[in-house]
Homo-oligomer: A and B are copies of this chain.
Amino acid sequence: MLKEILEEVRKKEPLIHNIMNRVSINDCANLLLACGASPVMADEEREAEEITASSAGLVLNMGMLSQRVIPAMMKAGIKANEMGIPVILDPVGAGISAFRRETVEKLKEVMHFSVIRGNASEIRALSGKREEGKGVDAAPCDQVTEENIEQMVKIARECSEQTGAVVILTGAMDVVTDQKESFLVLNGHPMMKKVTGTGCQLSALTAAYVAVCPEKPLESALAAVCAMGVAGEKAYARMKPEDGSGSYRIYLMDGIYQLNGEELEQYARYKKWKS
């Protein structure tokens, strides 16, 4: 299943429209090319609907949110919903300011998301919980560990129930859930946190995967999370003693570029959560 989704992206080359922050925009465009998709980054209100309409998937990424892009996000999301184009929300730093909390509420009111991807703070904020993350990175209390995994699944599932979206809650372990089923993904490497925007990259990758298989958002999201994690492990395995986070970032991109369906099936480590 994972294999088929990965290969479908390389075959269909889905066009993914991204309205997103300026920090990781280049990495996300390159990641989409690396996985076989085609990126278009455009956040001007006057063209947002038109560009979404020609795309197979839409990513709304709230990093570096500004008032200017909100109308473009609204119009693009509504248009995507009308046309059945999957919308992926990355609620970067959703809890760190009143402005972002308000914006999340507005987006939730007017559109439906196929998938929401965030760390624990962000997913909590999305459910209206007023806990605050530390900046845009996961706070120590957001670590997903063996000890708190049950609680993390609960948080993710609540968000899914409230929004109707598949929810990806990322951490040392990742949770992928809809209202019915939940998976834990064990792939990935701590080095990924030393590169800015790997979460954003996963959201973009998820959009590409869901775009080619929109009728199975849970499986597509699961495949994307595994793929990113496997690439992160492969990237770490390549590191030489003098390499650091700069080289790791490049190896991670190479990893997504090189990844094929067989490898993904072979190295994906996930399990169903029994609840």
Contacts and interface: CB of A to CB of B under 8 A. Distances in A.
A247 B242 contact: no
A158 interface: no
Interface stretch (A63-71, A79-87, A114-122, A144-152): A63-71
A110 interface: no
Given A44-B67, A134-B15, A196-B29, A96 B50 contact: yes
Interface residues of A, number: 66
A238 interface: yes
Contact of A137 (B22, B38, B197): B38
Contacts of A97: 42, 46-47, 50-51
Contacts of A197: 26, 29
A107 interface: no
A38 B193 CA distance: 10
Given A33-B245, A245-B257, 18 more contacts: A22-B25, A23-B25, A26-B27, A26-B196, A29-B196, A30-B196, A30-B245, A34-B194, A38-B137, A39-B135, A44-B67, A44-B99, A47-B97, A68-B68, A246-B253, A246-B254, A247-B250, A247-B254
Closest 9 interchain pairs by CB? A246-B253, A244-B257, A244-B254, A47-B97, A40-B135, A29-B196, A246-B250, A47-B99, A46-B99
21 contacts: A22-B25, A23-B41, A26-B26, A30-B246, A38-B135, A39-B136, A39-B196, A41-B63, A42-B97, A44-B67, A46-B97, A50-B96, A50-B97, A50-B99, A54-B132, A68-B68, A238-B242, A244-B254, A245-B253, A247-B253, A249-B253
